[in-house]
Amino acid sequence: LLLGCLGLLASPPAAAAEFSPSLDSDFTFTLPAGRRECFYQPMRKEASLELEYQVLDGAGLDVDFHLLSPKGETLVFDERKSDGVHTVETEDGDYMFCFDNTFSTISEKVIFFELILDNMGDDGQDQEDWKKYVTGTDLLDMKLEDILESINSVKARLSKSVQIQTLLRAFEARDRNIQESNFDRVNFWSMVNLGVMVVVSAVQVYMLKSLFEDKRKSRT
């Protein structure tokens, strides 16, 4: 699920991907065992970057998360977390966030994350474009400013609804993976229990049969 990926850059420690300046982008990827994947997002000054991630599948459902500023300063560090939500006020530059699975030697992880960008500058320009059509007459009960406000309100609510639905899908995927894992585990131990019962039953039958066998030997 990738809404706004523009490109992928390779670096010695990890790979990096840049997202388009859309307001909402989400991505699901598989992080192999012993690997680290990094992504970067260009931001403007006085904007807002909200990032939410969840580990959908993999042993332990945990991962290390790092968020770095354009100056290379660590803003957020989550150690072996299954999910997290972080919001930062940004400055001009590229923000890097990394998912680290180097502590795991066997299990790969399926990770979902979503980016929400606010105050990126486009909405203000749209409002200025609307204002030039506003006149001083009151021919209509509702002015263009009121129409714009209503449209922005509907747009914000629709965006919030899409965000909630995306998160619910992520929760559903994680719960389904857990249930399937539990189902396989229950089936495995049920078969082991059944095998033990069959072996014990066979041993009991053999022992009971041996008690009633005539072991006397006829003399010649």
Q: Give CA–CA dist 137/9, Å, rounded.
A: 55
- The model's pTM is 0.58
Report the topology of domain 21-122. Jelly Rolls (2.60.120)
What does the pLDDT look like over 55-106, one tens digit per residue?
A: 988 888 899 999 999 999 999 999 999 889 999 999 999 999 999 999 998 8
What does the pLDDT look like over 132-166, one tens digit per residue?
A: 555 554 545 556 677 777 787 787 778 777 777 77
Residue ranges of domains in the chain? 21-122, 154-213
Q: What is the pLDDT of residue 34?
A: 92
Question: How many CA atoms lie less than 13 Å away from 185 in the CB half-sphere?
Answer: 6
> Would you give the distance in Å from CA 123 to the centre of its chain?
28
Q: Give CA–CA dist 80/53, Å, rounded.
A: 12
High-pLDDT (> 90) share of the chain, %: 31
